[in-house]
Structure formats: structure tokens, C-alpha cells
Amino acid sequence: MTEYFSIQMPEDEIRAISSIGLAHLGDAVYELLVRTYLCAHGKATGKGLHRATVELVRAPAQAEAAEKILPVLTEEEQAVFRRGRNANVHSIPQHASRSEYQQATALEALFGWLYLRGEKARIEELFARIMEE
């Protein structure tokens, strides 16, 4: 049985996943981290919790988050980030510019890639940097 919360896929299998696939997974990983952060820090309750989550996972906020971690990414992480940023996305939400959406997709792809590699500590490190105030 595969343990999906503790998955660690081989590099060749991860490389076979499209940038959009990595971003799809990374979106869920990132949102789970945001929801956990908000609940653990008592930042919001009820409707406010949903609104706070949406504000942090929207493309403009993710683009800002990406800027915070770019200086500390390894060369390999930078390559995954670029691959995600250059993904061929056909529709962009109205609340985001193309550039913001590309940065958000890159961030999500990176988090998806790290998750599939089983690099939870690195995900935590990058997320902590993003959430620093």
C-alpha cells in the first residue's frame, strides 16, 4: 500500500509529471499548510477562516510568497520553479496578472515537487519564511 502522506517517489517518476501536474498537487499542499497555519495560530474563525485562507492562496499572494523564497532556493529548486513558471497555462483568473499567475504556478509546482520527493523539512522551512511577518 502506498502511504500518500509520506510519499517519496523516485526522481525519474517525478520528472515524468508535467509542470501543471506538479502545480496541481502543490496547490493542495500549499493550501493545507495555510489552513493549518491559520488554525494553529488562531488567526481566524468561521467565515473569516475561509476568507483568510482565500486571501493567502490567491495568485497575487502566492506571487509575493515566491519572491520571499527565491533568494534561498537551491539550483535544483530554481530549475523546478522556472519549469513551473514557464508552464503553458491557458486561462488566468481575473484577479491576477499573467506574471502573478506564472509566479503562483511556479510556487505550487515547487511545493508539489518537494512533496513528492518527501522533503517535508524543506517545505516547512520555505513555508516558515513565507509566513514571517
pLDDT digits (tens, 9 = 90+) for 61-80: 999 999 999 999 999 999 99
pLDDT digits (tens, 9 = 90+) for 39-56: 998 876 777 888 999 999
The length of the chain in residues reads 133
Average pLDDT over residues 101-121: 96
Instruction: Show contacts of 66-75: CB within 8 Å, 24+ apart.
Output: 66/103, 66/104, 66/106, 66/107, 67/103, 68/129, 68/130, 68/132, 69/107, 69/126, 69/129, 69/130, 72/126, 72/129, 73/110
State yes or no: pLDDT of 98 exceeds 90.
no
Neighbours of 131 (CB within 10 A): 15
The pLDDT of residue 44 is 67
Question: Is 27 annotated in the active site?
Answer: yes
What is the C-alpha to C-alpha distance for residues 49 and 72, in angstroms, rounded to an integer?
30
The pLDDT of residue 4 is 85
What is the C-alpha to C-alpha distance for residues 102 and 90, in angstroms, rounded to an integer?
11
The pLDDT of residue 114 is 98
- Count CA atoms closer than 13 A to 130's CA, side-chain side: 25
Select which of 22, 25, 26, 27 is catalytic: 27
